[in-house]
Structure 1
Amino acid sequence: MGRWLLRLASLLLSAAVIAGFAGVWAWTEFTRPGPLAAETTVVIPRGAGMETIAHRLHEAGVITDPRILALGAKVTGQARRLKAGEFAFPASVSPQHALDILESGVTVVRRVTVAEGLSSAQVVAVVEAADGLEGEIGDVPLEGTLLPETYHYAFGDSRAAIVARMRSEMDRTLRTLWETRAPDLPIASPQEAVILASIVEKETGVAAERPLVASVFVNRLNRGMRLQSDPTVAYGIAGGEGLDRPLTRTDLKSETPYNTYVIDGLPPGPIANPGAASIAAVLQPAESDFLYFVADGTGGHAFAKTLAEHNSNVRAWRKYQRDNRAE
């Protein structure tokens, strides 16, 4: 009987020692740096169980052994606290740290940037091309209702929700800027401000010029002069898809509601989605006597108070074009 008890005790001790070594080994594997050579992102789908999560991380090269991750999650109690989404894992991340990242719920922040002056159709195309968004947008929003900006989102967010945020931001920005408008502007409503801002946006890409360009159009409206803006002509011909050729003399005489060489005042709607800076420029234009402007060859424009000055600037611009073509 004594020998049997001694053998049993020996076996139990051996098992305990082996279990201890196994536990130490498992914990070492759980906490040691992993195989990942460079930061990578992994998407954990909603409703994923521990096995799915472990295999996703293994396939992405984040961990060496899915069983170690699953065991560690069970021992630490994290198995039921892991979140879904897109997560970034740094190089050499340990299985333990990988679980901490999944438990934190801090997902990758993605960005989609909409440039000022795009049409609503072009904005929709940008959002549709953004990686990681889901769902359909539906009808293209009305021109001038979306605020160009950089928008943050997470993997799996809705395209329609992003567009809705753009509408909301335009509404909020327009309300705020309208309250700060200069007195006696020839702009009767926030919608008219967006229309004129869209023209300013398409006329210049130089931020410092926007208030000056806005002042030209405001001065012309105050004097009952036609705006004579080339971008409005192009929009009247091609709409939001954009005109893929230079304007012709015939184009400038075309009978469209947007041709400001033909119509008086503002066109019936925006020709693009203006940014906040262009809206601010038309509501707080520079004080000037300028009535004309033309490109000057530097990316900006030459401004003039009289038609004679303007014609001189036009000749200089055409000479620049000829010289530039010759080179």
Structure 2
Amino acid sequence: MKQVVLINGKKQSKLSVFNRLIQFGDGLFETCVVKDTKLLFWSMHFARLEKGRAQLKINKVSEKQWLKDINKALGIANTSNAVVKVILSRGESKRGYGFKKNIKPTRIVIVSTAPKQMPDNYTLGVCKTGYANNPLLSNIKHCNRLEQVLARVELRSDECIMLDEQGHVVSVTQGNIFGIKEGVLLTPKLDKCGIEGTRRAVILKIASELRLQVKVGELTLQMLYDCNEVFVSNSVIGIKSVDTINAKRFSEYETTQKIAEALEKDSQKKNNAVPLKYKKAYIKKILSLSVIIATLFAFYWANTIKIEKPFVYHLPPGAGISVTASNLEKQGVIHSRYFLMAMAKVLGFDAKIKSGYYDVNPNMSVFELLTNFVTAEVASRNITLIEGKTIQHYYQQLTHTEALKSNGSFAEMMRLTGIKAPYEGYFWPDTYRVNVGDSVASVLKRSNQKLKERLQNHWQNRDKNLRLSSPSQALILASLIEKETAYSAEKTKIAGVFMRRLQVGMPLQTDPTVIYALVASKKYRGFLTRKDLKFNSLYNTYINKGLPPTAIASVSDSSLYAAMHPAKGDSLYFVAKKDGTHAFAKSYEQHRLNIKKYLIPFSKIK
């Protein structure tokens, strides 16, 4: 199969020299796998693409548009198994780094043949070229990959390991790396450089389910050499066992094989495998059917959908093909109920349609709509819960989401989920794939369950000297860290300051707790005053020592990690700089100097 390239939905392979992808590498990409007409782990790929797009401030391209382009490219390629690379460029501009806000992004989709089987004896070397630390761009899959390009020039084995500036293992050039030693899964933390692959998160979940202890942290070459098993992973190869690193040989593969088998099963789950729409089955039957009814319905373009705007159709439980066809005709969706009923009869679909909510689009055919009814290809949406938000924010967001059914008041919803108070912080921010018609309570229940799993995993792998007595205390501390900074590299330092203050009996004096209390009392005006810092509330950490009663927001992985691995040191104060980082001080005198140097009106002062 030759490669198929679409640029902005058109079959072509030439890109303008003024495109910022060529000029600056100003773009993002994802490499996906299509297996048996199913796009694997698409929701995770799209979520990462969206996260990078938002951080680089590239204008939005809808998920629907991407799937339309991918379907078209695969249809042209006439294949059901392929590697699909999607590239999002900021677009075209004149020379110079600046750009206009309304610049139109460029969409690129490349379909290639799936690679042949990997070599049996898979060998790794160690690259001289490594990663530079860049926390601001870490885990964004941007198009500037010169570090990997230079590393591949050195390649003398099947793959090579790339190190960071401190000589710690980060990844291989095209994937993540893992080691297994005596029931423990080891993999590098990637907060300063490298990419968290879509398969990496699934592998960590699978490892926990297989009762392996998971350790994400600094990983040296010697630690890899000491492992019983080593494997690498990426979207294309899945999981591949490593036989040799330099002169070190590995002969155990049992646990790796179990993880690989579980990953393969996970990839076929409904939430992880998006069925694609380029269907070619039943074409002969459709042609035969067209001949039979052509004389009766010549004045109809019977296989076209009549609507001009997309909408969601509800096929209720127990509705047969006759009732469904009649309803669609009455609502002006199809030209003739008889055509739909005849098609269903010829194809043997008349007794196979399934209830649910279905997307209906102007460019669909009646055949596509009927096929969706039979395969239960129900309408689904991505819903993103952003870290650092309160449960009331999530409740309002979800109850105002058209795709979901409301469960009434907040109290009633919590009763239906079975979740017990306290609620704050006990919901995991993530992108959730939901079916239209799902309840708000079902989304919150999934989010709560995921939080419990992540919290327990972090607690099991906490610092052995951590002076917190329970996972709930760690969650509260993580929420304070989450609201204090978005700069992941400093979170463990801020955790260290908070822990030292707790140990010596100093109040934490963190502004977000005061804001949380004021918002709950409907007294927050958008800024804090000296008077606000004396507001009477158990959450006010200026007048109360210790942690607040509950968390104050949802948390990210990096904040949970920081809360359970506070950095050592002697700092007791910090103040925000203009770039969002912080200046730390061990004495109040030095802290006052930092305030004088860095303080701006909206600074956080501790």
Asked if TM exceeds 0.5, the reply is: yes
CA contact (8 A) 2:427 2:444 kept: yes
Aligned to 2:109: none
Residue 189 (structure 1) shift:
0.7
Q: Deviations over 1:279-320 (max 9, x none)?
A: 1210123344332222212233333333233222222333x4
1:233 and 2:514 aligned: yes
**Cα 1:85/1:249, change in 2 over 3 Å:** same
Question: Aligned equivalents of 1:61 and 1:298: distance in 2?
Answer: 56
Question: Aligned equivalents of 1:242 and 1:80: distance in 2?
Answer: 59
Structure 1 residue identity aligned to 2:463: A
Question: Aligned equivalents of 2:459 and 2:328: distance in 1?
Answer: 51
Q: Deviations over 1:194-249 (max 9, x none)?
A: 11111111111233332222222123223332211111122233338683332221
Residues 1-327 of structure 1 mapped to structure 2, 5 A cutoff: 22-23=292-293, 25=295, 41-58=312-329, 63-89=334-360, 92-134=363-405, 135-136=407-408, 138-139=410-411, 142-239=423-520, 243-318=524-599, 320-321=600-601
Question: Aligned equivalents of 1:240 and 1:113: distance in 2?
Answer: 27
CA contact (8 A) 2:309 2:362 kept: yes
Question: Aligned equivalents of 2:455 and 2:591: distance in 1?
Answer: 33
Aligned to 1:9: none
**1:115 partner SS:** coil
**1:247 partner SS:** coil
Bigger mean CA deviation after superposition, 85-94 or 246-255: 85-94
Residue 278 (structure 1) shift:
1.4
Structure 2 residue identity aligned to 1:96: F
Question: Aligned equivalents of 1:277 and 1:59: distance in 2?
Answer: 53
Bigger mean CA deviation after superposition, 53-62 or 181-190: 53-62
Residue 250 (structure 1) shift:
2.1
TM-score by length of 1: 0.80
Structure 1 residue identity aligned to 2:455: L
Residue 36 (structure 1) shift:
6.4
Residue 160 (structure 1) shift:
1.7
Q: Deviations over 1:164-202 (max 9, x none)?
A: 222212211111110000022221111110111111111
Residue 253 (structure 1) shift:
2.7
CA contact (8 A) 1:43 1:86 kept: yes
**Cα 1:30/1:164, change in 2 over 3 Å:** same
CA contact (8 A) 2:302 2:334 kept: no
Question: Aligned equivalents of 1:37 and 1:102: distance in 2?
Answer: 21
Based on CA coordinates, which of the two structures has the bigger radius of gyration?
1
Q: Deviations over 1:71-124 (max 9, x none)?
A: 211232211111122223565433223211211112122222222222222221
Bigger mean CA deviation after superposition, 235-244 or 129-138: 235-244
Question: Aligned equivalents of 1:176 and 1:221: distance in 2?
Answer: 24
CA contact (8 A) 1:136 1:159 kept: no
Question: Aligned equivalents of 1:114 and 1:66: distance in 2?
Answer: 41
CA contact (8 A) 1:122 1:241 kept: no
Bigger mean CA deviation after superposition, 57-66 or 73-82: 57-66
**Cα 1:20/1:149, change in 2 over 3 Å:** closer
Residue 38 (structure 1) shift:
7.6
Question: Aligned equivalents of 1:66 and 1:83: distance in 2?
Answer: 18
Question: Aligned equivalents of 1:310 and 1:58: distance in 2?
Answer: 73
Structure 1 residue identity aligned to 2:456: R
Question: Aligned equivalents of 2:432 and 2:339: distance in 1?
Answer: 38
Q: Which has the higher helix share?
A: 1
Question: Aligned equivalents of 1:20 and 1:266: distance in 2?
Answer: 72
More relative contact order in 1 or in 2 (CA 8 Å, sep 6+)? Answer: 1
Residue 252 (structure 1) shift:
1.8
* RMSD (CA atoms): 3.1
**Cα 1:147/1:97, change in 2 over 3 Å:** closer
Residue 263 (structure 1) shift:
1.8
Question: Aligned equivalents of 2:472 and 2:557: distance in 1?
Answer: 14
CA contact (8 A) 1:118 1:272 kept: yes
Percent sequence identity over matched residues?
A: 32
Q: Deviations over 1:233-278 (max 9, x none)?
A: 2223333868333222122233422221222221222222223331
Question: Aligned equivalents of 1:85 and 1:65: distance in 2?
Answer: 22
**Cα 1:245/1:34, change in 2 over 3 Å:** closer
Question: Aligned equivalents of 2:290 and 2:396: distance in 1?
Answer: 59
Question: Aligned equivalents of 2:456 and 2:521: distance in 1?
Answer: 25
